[in-house]
Amino acid sequence: TPGAPINPDEPDGPKWPTRTNYDKTVNETISYVDQNGQVVAKQHTDSVNFTRTVVVDNVTGEVITSGDGTTAWTATNGDT
Protein backbone atom coordinates (compact mmCIF):
# COMPACT_ATOMS: atom_id res chain seq x y z
CA THR A 1 0.00 0.00 0.00
CA PRO A 2 1.52 3.37 -0.99
CA GLY A 3 2.68 5.31 2.06
CA ALA A 4 2.50 2.29 4.38
CA PRO A 5 5.63 1.17 6.22
CA ILE A 6 7.70 -1.40 4.32
CA ASN A 7 8.24 -3.18 7.63
CA PRO A 8 5.03 -3.04 9.73
CA ASP A 9 7.14 -3.48 12.89
CA GLU A 10 8.82 -0.13 12.12
CA PRO A 11 5.98 2.37 11.54
CA ASP A 12 8.45 5.29 11.37
CA GLY A 13 10.74 3.45 8.93
CA PRO A 14 10.82 3.58 5.13
CA LYS A 15 7.46 3.67 3.36
CA TRP A 16 6.22 2.10 0.14
CA PRO A 17 6.41 4.63 -2.69
CA THR A 18 3.49 6.77 -3.75
CA ARG A 19 1.54 5.76 -6.83
CA THR A 20 3.14 8.58 -8.91
CA ASN A 21 6.38 6.58 -8.97
CA TYR A 22 4.79 3.83 -11.07
CA ASP A 23 1.39 5.03 -12.35
CA LYS A 24 0.60 8.24 -14.26
CA THR A 25 -2.18 9.63 -16.42
CA VAL A 26 -1.36 12.00 -19.27
CA ASN A 27 -4.11 14.27 -20.61
CA GLU A 28 -4.07 15.94 -23.99
CA THR A 29 -6.34 18.42 -25.71
CA ILE A 30 -6.20 19.01 -29.46
CA SER A 31 -7.74 22.15 -30.93
CA TYR A 32 -8.36 22.34 -34.67
CA VAL A 33 -8.00 25.87 -36.05
CA ASP A 34 -7.16 27.32 -39.44
CA GLN A 35 -4.45 29.87 -40.21
CA ASN A 36 -6.85 32.66 -39.16
CA GLY A 37 -7.46 31.13 -35.75
CA GLN A 38 -11.01 30.02 -36.61
CA VAL A 39 -12.17 26.74 -35.10
CA VAL A 40 -12.64 24.18 -37.90
CA ALA A 41 -13.49 21.07 -35.88
CA LYS A 42 -14.59 20.10 -32.40
CA GLN A 43 -11.86 20.03 -29.76
CA HIS A 44 -10.63 16.52 -28.92
CA THR A 45 -9.49 15.43 -25.45
CA ASP A 46 -7.93 12.13 -24.45
CA SER A 47 -6.29 10.53 -21.43
CA VAL A 48 -3.73 7.76 -21.48
CA ASN A 49 -2.66 5.87 -18.37
CA PHE A 50 0.96 4.70 -18.10
CA THR A 51 2.48 2.23 -15.65
CA ARG A 52 5.93 0.84 -14.99
CA THR A 53 7.67 -1.51 -12.61
CA VAL A 54 10.16 -0.07 -10.14
CA VAL A 55 12.33 -1.63 -7.46
CA VAL A 56 12.07 -0.41 -3.87
CA ASP A 57 15.05 -0.67 -1.54
CA ASN A 58 13.50 -2.32 1.54
CA VAL A 59 16.08 -0.76 3.85
CA THR A 60 15.94 2.87 2.72
CA GLY A 61 12.60 3.03 0.87
CA GLU A 62 14.41 4.53 -2.12
CA VAL A 63 12.68 3.99 -5.46
CA ILE A 64 15.16 2.61 -7.98
CA THR A 65 13.96 3.59 -11.45
CA SER A 66 16.58 1.92 -13.63
CA GLY A 67 18.43 -1.36 -13.76
CA ASP A 68 17.37 -4.92 -13.05
CA GLY A 69 13.69 -5.35 -12.25
CA THR A 70 12.53 -1.98 -13.57
CA THR A 71 10.59 -1.32 -16.76
CA ALA A 72 9.92 1.63 -19.03
CA TRP A 73 6.62 3.52 -18.90
CA THR A 74 4.00 1.59 -20.90
CA ALA A 75 0.48 2.64 -21.89
CA THR A 76 -2.21 0.45 -20.33
CA ASN A 77 -5.13 -1.26 -22.06
CA GLY A 78 -3.36 -1.21 -25.43
CA ASP A 79 -3.72 2.57 -25.58
CA THR A 80 -1.25 4.86 -27.33
pLDDT digits (tens, 9 = 90+) for 6-15: 999 999 999 9
SS3 state of residue 19: helix
pLDDT at 80 over 80: no
The confidence score (pLDDT) of residue 69 equals: 86
Give this prediction's pTM: 0.68
What average pLDDT does the segment 49-61 reach?
Answer: 92
Domain limits of the chain? 19-75
* Overall size of the chain counted in residues: 80
pLDDT at 2 over 90: no
* Residues contacting residue 23 through CB under 8 Å, at least 6 positions apart: 49, 50, 51
- Domain 19-75 fold is Immunoglobulin-like (2.60.40)
What average pLDDT does the segment 24-33 reach?
Answer: 96
